[in-house]
Amino acid sequence: MTGHEVGVRLTVDGVGSRLALDPRVTVLDALRDELGVMAVKKGCDHGQCGACTVIVDGRRILSCLALAASYDGADVTTAAGLGTPDRLSPMQQAFADRDALQCGYCTPGQVCSAVAMLEEVRAGMPSHVSPDVAAADIDLTDAEVRERMSGNLCRCGAYVNIVAAIQDVAHADGGAA
Q: Counting beta carbons within 10 angstroms of the beta carbon of residue 174, is it exposed (0 to 12), middle (13 to 18) or buried (19 or more)?
A: exposed
pLDDT for position 176: 61
Q: Domains, the chain, ranges and CATH?
A: 6-81 (3.10.20.30), 90-172 (1.10.150.120)
Per DSSP bridges, beta strands 53-56 and 59-62 are antiparallel
Phi and psi dihedrals of 113, rounded to 5?
-65, -40
Tell me the average pLDDT across 100-104.
Answer: 95
Question: End-to-end CA distance of the chain, in Å?
Answer: 39
CA 173 to chain centre: 22
For residue 94, name the pLDDT band (cuts at 50, 70, 90).
very high
pLDDT at 3 over 90: no
Question: What stretch of H or E contains 11?
Answer: strand 6-12
Tens-digit pLDDT profile for residues 106-159: 999 999 999 999 999 999 998 888 888 787 788 899 999 999 999 999 999 999
